[in-house]
Amino acid sequence: MNEIVIKQNLAPNVWLMGIYSPQVAKKSNPGQFVILRVAENGERIPLTIADFDREKGVVYIIFQVVGKTTSLLSQLNIGDRIIDFVGPLGMPYEHNPEDKNYLFVAGGLGIPAIFSKVKMLHSQGKNIDIIIGGRSKENIFFEDELKKYCNNLYISTNDGSYGKKGFVTDILNELLESGKRYDEIFAVGPVPMMKAVVDITKKYQIKTLVSLNPIMVDGTGMCGGCRVKIGNEVKFACVDGPIFDGFEVDFDGLMKRNSYYQDLENISYREHKCKIGLGE
C-alpha cells in the first residue's frame, strides 16, 4: 500500500506521482485532497488529488519542492512507499447540473487542482474554457492534457516567454470585457491571484468558486490551523472546504494566516538543504 508506481518531472521542481492506494482511489472525487507524511518524525502536509483511477487503485498527486517535506518526497522513487497517505479528505466539488458554461482560472500549482473537475464536466457535455498561467514557459505544464477536455485554453506568462505576457487576470478581463459570460468561474492558485479574480468577477456578478489551501495539519478540523472567515462565519478549510464561494472569503485575513509560519518553514528548509549538501 501507498507505493509509488509513477514518478514524472513536469517542470523545474514540480513532480507528478501516482500512488497505489486502492481505498483512497475508490472513494476519491474531484476537489478533495490527501494528507501524507514522508518521514517517521516528519510533518503532515496536504496535497490536492490531481486525478484518480478507481480501477487501477492509483491516486495522482502533483507537488512543487518548496520546503523540507516536499524535498524529501521528491527524493522517493518508483517502488518506494509513503508512510502515511490519508484521504480522501475535504468536501467534493459540486456544481449546478443546469449550468452549461464554465471557466477555470489556474495559476502555478493551481493547474493540477482543476484537472479532475474539468474531466468530469467534459464528460457531462459542458462548455469549458481554461486560463492557466506561470512565471515563464518552463512553469507551464499539463497543457496537452487540459486541451483534451476544453473548448479553449488560454495561457499567460509573467515574462511573456509563452502565451500572452502578463497575468491570468489580464486574460480574464479581456474575455469578460469582450462579452463572454459563464455560469460559473472556478479559480485556484496563489491567494493574491484568487483574490484578484474575485475582484473582477464581482463586477459582473458571475458565480465564482475558489479552492483554499491554507495551513492544514490534521485534516479533521480539530487543530483549527486552517480556519478562515467565510462571510460572517468561521470555517475550516479541511472539513468545510477546500472549495468556497469566492465572494464570501476574507482574503486579507487568509493571507495574514498563511504567512504566520513562513520564517520557520524557510529555516527548516535551509537546514535540510545544508544537511544534504545543497547549501543555501
Backbone angles phi, psi at 61, to 5 degrees: -125, 150
Contact between residue 209 and residue 244 where contact means Cβ atoms under 8 Å apart: yes
274 is annotated as contributing to ligand binding: no
Give the number of C-alpha atoms closer than 13 A to the C-alpha of residue 166, restricted to the C-beta side: 10
Q: Is residue 150 marked as binding?
A: no
| 226 is an annotated ligand-binding site residue | yes
CB contact at 8 A, 246 and 187 = yes
Considering all CA atoms of the chain, what is the largest pairwise distance in Å, rounded to the nearest integer? 55
Q: Is the CB of residue 60 less than 8 Å from the CB of residue 33?
A: no
Residue 185 assigned as binding residue: no
CA 72 to chain centre: 20
CB half-sphere exposure, 98, CA atoms < 13 A: 0
User: 23 among the known binding-site residues?
Assistant: no
First CA to last CA distance, the chain: 35
The response to whether 85 counts as a known ligand-binding position is: no
Among 89, 84, 47, which Cα is nearest to 64's? 47
Q: Please state the residue numbers annotated as binding site for [2Fe-2S] cluster.
A: 223, 226, 238
Q: Which residues are annotated as a binding site?
A: 62-64, 223, 226, 238
* Residues annotated within a binding site for FAD: 62-64
